[in-house]
Structure 1
Amino acid sequence: MNASLTAADARGVAGFLREVHGALLGAGFPLSLAGAPAARAAAAAAAAQLDDYILPRLDRLDAPLLAVIGGSTGAGKSTLVNALIGRPVTRTGAVRPTTRQPILLHHPAEAEWFTSQRVLPSLSRVQAGAGELAPQDAAGAAAGTLLLQGEATVPRGLAILDAPDIDSIADENRRLAGQLLAAADLWIFVTTANRYADAVPWKLLAEAARRDILLAVVLDRVPPGVEEEVREDLMTLLTAESLGHAPIFVVQESGLDEDGMLPAGSVDPIRRWLGALAADAEGRTDIARRTLAGAVRALAGRVEEVAEAAEAQQATADRLSGAAEAAYSEALAAILRSTEDGTMLRGEVLARWQDFVGTGEFMRGIETRVGWLRDRITAFFTGQPAPATTVAAAIETGLHSVIVEESAKAFEQTEQWWRSDDAGRALLAGRGAYVSDEFSAEAARQVREWQQDLLELVSTEGSDKRFAARMLSFGVNGVAVALMVVVFASTGGLSGAEIGIAGGSAVVGQKLLEAVFGEDAVRRLAKTARDNLERRCRALLDEEKDKFIVLLAPVAGQTPPEALFAYARRLAGTDLTGAPGPTAGGSR
């Protein structure tokens, strides 16, 4: 955007910024990664700054400037505020922290700007009576409350906010101080001659440089004779942080009167500087525009950091999900291999099939064109005649065992992989051992239903009058069992005598089906049966896999990292230096 940014453009930017706000709120970082707490805090802080400052300021550049007075514990912030107002308006004292509740001082005629939730909407408002001392003790202040006080000595066009200590021993005070400083149009940073080089303040000053915010530094309690030395050293430090333009005001060390007030005139240079800013309407708008543009640029960097953290969350979720997908895909492949390589024609299944097809009555039912097989395979078949249901039962037992075994392997592999990862281990915390009773019962049911499907399949295929007599010769159950055997027909994985036995058994089943339906139909029926079995096994395993995948659902519900990166790029390219002035919109 350029210097010709229109009111419509500003509204478009506001809509975009609200999208960013929603995206930040949608980034919760549910996985237990090292950077997750910091990322959550960064996302919350960025969303809060949009609410507290960026959107309200974009809406009204002509609103009074908000000057936030911040600094370290005991630096003299409240004493400075009292001196600027000309009377005690906020409590001072030796017990720290003194400032527990922020107080916003404004000209009485401009109360409307601050009594609404236009700025700092998360803080409730309490209006102090004229001439009262702002309550800063725990009994007189509710958490999350902004105390408003009208003072005629505050120049129009400007409000002064006394913030809690940035290094307070109270976590809530530190958080609130950061929130208030992020909502400022200008900062008045208060430090002392012996603490101006402390590390904590300089983190916030570096943030001021990133935001390009108007900054003034007050050196408080400067002993006589060291003013120039301290000022020069402080200027060197400010210049190193690209803040060399910031004015430095020195308040000499002196005693306080009985009301806790500094000597008259000790803060006159600061008062005059603030008065000059307030009196220049066009200058105030320029300051607001500049600070707003800097805040949006800084927001771009913060959103990019949030995007990087979201990307780490997504990558971890993908790894965990991929481990589950791989384990259960291999389980499905193993089950299907066991049904295709002849493995299922071992043991009890093979014995029962031998019993079934070895009966003379069954062999006599085969059409003449396949009768020549009888002499070649009868030597393999021994035992008493058995109904087809015994073969189906053996197949059910064998197939069920394979499914349960491979599912258990997949579960163990997935759990082992997840527990080797910090985030996965946290997701599995408190999760009990794998209980397979329900799965085993469901697997048995699916195998029985698959067999029932085959019965219906051959019944439907044999409903034609051309096949009816042949079907009656073998029975629907017998034909269905033969189809099951054909599905398991390949002899891969078997050896020695097993190959001959299984191979002969499969040939009998194949020829039986061909005698009833024809060669092409047999191929079609076998494929339909295999596809049905694969579908049922896949559904079973997917349900087990989803017991892991569902734990990753919170990540899937987050704002995608690619969307956050796109927002960061667009924010970095958003130029608000030409944002429209007072006609941009109505008061909020």
Structure 2
Amino acid sequence: MNDGLLAALKTLRQHLDHDLFPLAIGDVAADRRALKELSGQLDDYLLPRLAAIDAPLLAVVGGSTGAGKSTLVNSLVGANVTEPGVLRPTTLAPTLVCNPADAAWFTSTSVLPGLPRVTTPPGTTGPTGGGRGEPGTLRIATADRLPAGLALLDAPDIDSIVSANRELAAQLLAAADLWLFVTTAARYADEVPWSFLRLARERSTALAIILQRVPAEAREPVTADLTRLLREHGLGDAPLFAVPELELPSEHARLPAHAVQPIATWLARLSVDARARAAVVRQTLTGALDSLGTRVPALADRVDRQRAGIAELRAVVEKAYDSGMSAFDEGMRDGLLLRGEVLARWQDFIGTGDLMRSLESRVGWLRDRITAAFTGRPAPDKELRVALESGVETLIRAAADGAAERAVESWLAMPAGRDLLEQSGVTVTGRLGRASSGLPSRASAAVREWQGYVLDLVRSEGTDRRTVARAASFGVNSLGVMLMLAVFASTGGITGIEIGIAGGTSVLSQKLLEAIFGDQAVRTLTQSAREDLRRRVREIIGDERSRFTSLLDGLGPADDTSARLRDAAKAVQERGAL
């Protein structure tokens, strides 16, 4: 046994033990099939055969529907160990027949470990001995007539109308040391059998062709034509056996011994000749190992495609939410927020003389608030701040809703995105297509915290010896509201404050803030307030984005999976000499 090669194969197998193709990216059905076939051949054939190179030979009898595979197996072993029939599909569960001396090897899970074993008691045959068996099981039968060192496995039809049977047939053929490929004089040119035969050639699988139901008058032309086709497909060295067309008394009848004697003799010689048997194993094993040199890198390329597709899904979400943040930034600049309710409250604050009275005397500022306390009417600056708070919250919700809608639309336009949404149970009109239900409360809390931050900025700036008296004459809350408005009315970055509402007030507000804090200080305060709000909104937008990106986190292969696959394939090739 080549310990280094076995270790390299085990390492390769570990890298395949993940969901490498979770989404509909590229031809994902073919990608998943290639992964399943590769994993299956490692489990079913390469690893067990390399671990026990001298184990009995497994010959899988495969072919098209109605080719007579089960009848052939029963005829070769001289017992009805598998049930032929006119119903299709016939072989629902594969039957493996071996000499009693080899039963321990095949009843263990060394070969085909994924198929549960059902053992047919000695002396029982046909329907009374388990018949067709349960789908998904491997029936094990023994026959003294079959020589030790060789087992026959009757596989399902390669062209079965049941997809699971077709897949199982392919799996069993991939687990074989030797193919006994059965066809008929009427169907030997069909495309489905030749697709398998080409695969056998590509992987150098040991192969024998059994041509059944050959009319006596057509024996020579049919066998000559099939021989020609085999040569043209690079299979001219494969032994070819022709079985004559015979009238059998019933569907359970076996072929007479003389009809299958050439096949039985060839198999018997193979079983007793250790060197010939080893040559078959070496041919098939070497071919399967060599095929990894192309199959694994090709699979790695498909893994890269899957990762790129998942990255594209993430990128369109990032773009959608970047656009959402840009929409919020535009809302800060375009002045639309300072319309409607905010405008009305501004006019209350300025137009009724409250601002001028607060400038004239501290008593006026206190009088307004005392009046509000007794009348239940909020102070004008508070009403303005509440209106502004509501407007900012609305702007955040609009940005988040728009981003969610764009993200869902982008995913729906991509097969992988639709697949992911369906897997996640998210409908187009469902929760993912709009902002989360918790966003309003988070936005409200964020805006209130931001307003508190702005008041702290004003309070901190107002402690300067030169500004304390001027700031105190107006009040922290009123100045804070003015600064909040400045954040949404500034144009050209921090070049100046233009509150474009209520005729004539922009000059007044600008002069007011600059008179209290100074031109440069107002620029700094506005910039700090703006960036703090943007930071808080970015956090909210990020939380909203994570509803999409969390569906992608941990999905698909790791970043280094394709590199590991290629390295593992290279290691197998370097240690592949048998």
Q: Which residue is 1:241 aligned to?
A: 233
| Structure of higher RCO (CA pairs closer than 8 Å, 6+ residues apart) | 1
Change (3 A) 1:240 1:362: farther
Q: Distance in 2 between matches of 1:190 and 1:72?
A: 7
Q: Which residue is 2:359 aligned to?
A: 363
Q: Does 1:87 align with 2:85?
A: no
Q: Deviations over 1:234-277 (max 9, x none)?
A: 12222222222211111122344787222223222222322232
Q: Distance in 2 between matches of 1:307 and 1:139?
A: 42
Alpha-carbon contact 1:56-1:119 (below 8 Å) kept: yes
Q: Which residue is 1:323 aligned to?
A: 316
Q: Distance in 2 between matches of 1:284 and 1:499?
A: 101
Superposition deviation, residue 223 in structure 1: 1.5
Alpha-carbon contact 2:65-2:89 (below 8 Å) kept: yes
Q: Distance in 1 between matches of 2:508 and 2:229?
A: 92
Alpha-carbon contact 1:65-1:158 (below 8 Å) kept: yes
Query: Among residues 260, 266, 270, which one is paired with 2:253 in the alignment?
Result: 260
Change (3 A) 1:496 1:563: closer
Which one is further off, 99-108 or 476-485?
476-485
Superposition deviation, residue 509 in structure 1: 2.3
The normalised TM-score by structure 2 is 0.83
Superposition deviation, residue 205 in structure 1: 1.0
User: What SS does the corresponding residue of 1:62 show, helix, strand or coil?
Assistant: coil
Q: Which residue is 1:194 aligned to?
A: 186
AA in 2 matched with 1:203: S
Superposition deviation, residue 390 in structure 1: 2.8
Which one is further off, 54-63 or 114-123?
54-63
Query: Among residues 467, 489, 506, which one is paired with 2:510 in the alignment?
Result: 506
Q: Distance in 2 between matches of 1:81 and 1:29?
A: 40
AA in 2 matched with 1:557: L
Superposition deviation, residue 232 in structure 1: 2.0
Query: Among residues 76, 95, 100, which one is paired with 1:103 in the alignment?
Result: 95
Alpha-carbon contact 2:499-2:506 (below 8 Å) kept: no
AA in 2 matched with 1:559: P
Q: Deviations over 1:265-293 (max 9, x none)?
A: 32222223222322333443343233223
AA in 2 matched with 1:13: A
Superposition deviation, residue 118 in structure 1: 0.9
Q: Which residue is 1:228 aligned to?
A: 220
Q: Which residue is 1:583 aligned to?
A: none
Q: Which residue is 1:13 aligned to?
A: 8
Q: Which residue is 1:533 aligned to?
A: 533
Q: Give the 5 Å matches for 1:459-474.
A: 459=459, 472-474=472-474
The normalised TM-score by structure 1 is 0.82
AA in 1 matched with 2:390: T
Alpha-carbon contact 2:209-2:240 (below 8 Å) kept: yes
Superposition deviation, residue 308 in structure 1: 5.0
Query: Among residues 194, 208, 217, which one is paired with 2:209 in the alignment?
Result: 217
Change (3 A) 1:576 1:292: farther
Q: Which residue is 2:481 aligned to?
A: 481
Query: Among residues 429, 434, 438, which one is paired with 1:432 in the alignment?
Result: 429
Superposition deviation, residue 168 in structure 1: 2.3
Superposition deviation, residue 451 in structure 1: 0.8
AA in 2 matched with 1:390: E
Q: Which residue is 1:563 aligned to?
A: 561
Change (3 A) 1:284 1:535: farther
Change (3 A) 1:568 1:88: same
Q: Distance in 2 between matches of 1:510 and 1:297?
A: 80
Which one is further off, 544-553 or 114-123?
544-553
User: What SS does the corresponding residue of 1:265 show, helix, strand or coil?
Assistant: helix
User: What SS does the corresponding residue of 2:139 show, helix, strand or coil?
Assistant: strand
Q: Does 1:112 align with 2:104?
A: yes
Q: Which residue is 2:280 aligned to?
A: 287
Q: Which residue is 2:387 aligned to?
A: 394
Q: Give the 5 Å matches for 1:342-361.
A: 344-345=337-338, 349=342, 352=345, 356=349, 359-361=355-357
User: What SS does the corresponding residue of 2:140 show, helix, strand or coil?
Assistant: strand
Change (3 A) 1:507 1:12: farther
Change (3 A) 1:353 1:326: same
Change (3 A) 1:35 1:136: farther
Alpha-carbon contact 1:101-1:136 (below 8 Å) kept: no
User: What SS does the corresponding residue of 1:245 show, helix, strand or coil?
Assistant: coil
Alpha-carbon contact 2:293-2:573 (below 8 Å) kept: no
Change (3 A) 1:421 1:122: same
Q: Which residue is 2:172 aligned to?
A: 180
Q: Distance in 2 between matches of 1:168 and 1:576?
A: 39
Change (3 A) 1:360 1:523: closer
User: What SS does the corresponding residue of 1:233 show, helix, strand or coil?
Assistant: helix
Change (3 A) 1:401 1:89: closer
Change (3 A) 1:565 1:503: farther
AA in 1 matched with 2:484: M
Q: Which residue is 1:3 aligned to?
A: none
Q: Distance in 2 between matches of 1:461 and 1:53?
A: 78
User: What SS does the corresponding residue of 1:167 show, helix, strand or coil?
Assistant: coil
Change (3 A) 1:279 1:558: same
Q: Does 1:163 align with 2:155?
A: yes
Query: Among residues 20, 24, 27, which one is paired with 1:27 in the alignment?
Result: 20
Q: Which residue is 1:150 aligned to?
A: 142
Change (3 A) 1:505 1:463: closer
User: What SS does the corresponding residue of 1:339 show, helix, strand or coil?
Assistant: helix
Alpha-carbon contact 1:479-1:512 (below 8 Å) kept: no
Alpha-carbon contact 1:320-1:424 (below 8 Å) kept: yes
Q: Distance in 1 between matches of 2:249 and 2:434?
A: 77
Q: Deviations over 1:448-494 (max 9, x none)?
A: 22112323444466678897666544433234324324434523597
Change (3 A) 1:209 1:15: same
Alpha-carbon contact 1:450-1:533 (below 8 Å) kept: yes
AA in 2 matched with 1:443: A
Alpha-carbon contact 2:89-2:160 (below 8 Å) kept: yes
Q: Distance in 2 between matches of 1:116 and 1:310?
A: 34
Structure 1: segments with no counterpart, 5+ residues: 1-5, 367-383, 581-588
Alpha-carbon contact 1:289-1:576 (below 8 Å) kept: no
Change (3 A) 1:478 1:535: same
Q: Deviations over 1:374-417 (max 9, x none)?
A: xxxxxxxxxx9954323322321332232233333333333333
Alpha-carbon contact 2:214-2:243 (below 8 Å) kept: yes
User: What SS does the corresponding residue of 1:267 show, helix, strand or coil?
Assistant: helix
Q: Distance in 1 between matches of 2:183 and 2:194?
A: 11
User: What SS does the corresponding residue of 2:257 show, helix, strand or coil?
Assistant: coil
Which one is further off, 321-330 or 257-266?
257-266
Change (3 A) 1:239 1:399: same
Which one is further off, 430-439 or 82-91?
430-439
Q: Which residue is 2:67 aligned to?
A: 75
Which one is further off, 407-416 or 205-214?
407-416
Which one is further off, 166-175 or 498-507?
498-507
Q: Deviations over 1:507-560 (max 9, x none)?
A: 42244334xxx956x65544442232112211222333333444445xx51125
Q: Give the 5 Å matches for 1:40-79.
A: 40-79=32-71
Q: Distance in 2 between matches of 1:252 and 1:470?
A: 115
AA in 2 matched with 1:178: A
Alpha-carbon contact 1:458-1:479 (below 8 Å) kept: yes
AA in 2 matched with 1:67: A
Q: Distance in 2 between matches of 1:411 and 1:136?
A: 63
Q: Distance in 2 between matches of 1:39 and 1:127?
A: 35
Alpha-carbon contact 2:76-2:260 (below 8 Å) kept: yes
Q: Distance in 2 between matches of 1:571 and 1:221?
A: 44
AA in 2 matched with 1:540: I
Query: Among residues 400, 406, 412, which one is paired with 1:413 in the alignment?
Result: 406
Q: State, as a whole percentage, how many aligned pairs show the same letter.
A: 42
